[in-house]
Chain A
Amino acid sequence: MNTVAVVEDNADNRLLLQAILDGLYEVVEYENGVDALAGLAAQLPDLVLLDISLPGMDGNEILARIRADDQLRRLPVIALTAHAMAGDREKYLSAGFNDYITKPIVDESLLLSAMEKWIAAGRDGKI
């Protein structure tokens, strides 16, 4: 089973993702950027779901550190955000996120198909 790291400070969102991913992925949860960066380096997942609005180091900064790190830079990273402003998608993709999923999660198949796609890309060395 592939491993997915969820970086999310809100307990309700973590619980929801855990329910959606249950039985499909091994889920490792981090509540903040410092823990996430340490944890990712210690246990490299197959994909990262990264919330943008985090206290302290936000998702954009965590992503920048992932992309600047030799060990982590090829990780597939999907942004999870409730901002959903016009032009956000392009902004996140050009910042180096592989994909972008908006909250609230209404159609879980969008999330799951994006995850499958980017895990496969990561495995095939296409990131």
Chain B
Amino acid sequence: MNTRSTAMVGTANDLAAFALVAFGFLWRPGQNARLEFAGGAALSLAVLLSLSRAGAALAVLTLVAIGVLAALVSTPRTTFRQVRWLFLGAYVGALIALPTGAPAALLGRYVEERPPDSTSNVRQRDLEASGGVRLELWEAGMRTALARPASGYGPDALPFVYGRHRQESETLDLYYNYQVESAHNILIDLTITGGFPLLTVVLAAIISGVWISFQSLPRREIAPIIALASFGGFGGMALLNPISIPTLVYGLVLLGLLTTGNRTYILNPRIAFSISVVGFVVLVASLVFSFALVRAESTAAEARIAYLRGDYARAMTLYHDASEIMPFERWYAVEEFAAAVGLAAKTNQPDALARADALGETVHRRFHPLIAEVLTRARIAYLRDPNDERVEELLNTARSLQPSSPTWQQAIAEVRR
């Protein structure tokens, strides 16, 4: 049961981070009263409805920063005239949010950080201590980043390497069966993704865009006050939470808008033709890819429904189809394996167990494994033949994937029971 408003752009914090960065597109106060009123209202509404405490605090700080920056570049009277619609909009947004109960929830009535997970042994009260978990995730993330500082592990690769680098910790073990996709700090995540070169390039881009715009505030006729303040608020969120696709796109486009060029070009016909040809080829390829991806996702959605209904045979077929449409997606292959395991457990037939065993092997020949999948394979191999040599081999792989997690080590020890 999901009790948080997480559907818009990912998690609650994603929604708040998105609202903060999108607010920056208003650029500066005093430009367009109606737009600023709507933007201010949308910011406070989205942030309050997100129920993200960090987001709400950073939104307030962003509004304060806008007021301060505006006061720095003009007189108090002009500042008031410039920011009044923005602030009035934010106030009206908060008033609209009041009947929904979101502001009250933010002030303490809301007790849950995450919905209870029936498959997990994580207790609700344990999840409330998100600050401590964050610090430990940062530490684990830094260890991961430092293990491959030159080139990183590639984008979104953390779930495959996190277990090897995390320390022994009771707090982290509360989340032992969650796939940790982010270190909850953009700087650490960037280093894990592309090593120190990516971190350096992103910091250089931020300095080029934000810092130089900030320095030129008093001199510029169209000072990007809201953009800078909101980029600061978004930066604060990104230092505490993962980013999602919309926040990444909005963040880079906002940074692009802050990094204006000073030499004007109109492409000459020959270069324009070459770029057009390249653009056209890429467009056709990306359209084909996109249609395939959406088709694969629709098939996977049907497979998910079949799985939830207990129709494992149909789920297997559909996940297999999805995997054939989009062979780069690991999830479809893994879910096909999971459906095969479900079918074996349901029918209790040796053939079904053998098929699950074979599918597990195929999946891990194609993709890197996670510990839960390795243990499932080990258990299947053990059930088929307790003396199978692969059991010890798989358990050794599992040990290497999560060497510092007592909970996983206990699960490894229980495979042969």
Decide whether A and B are members of one complex. no
Name B's A-contacting residues (CB within 8 A): none
Name A's B-contacting residues (CB within 8 A): none
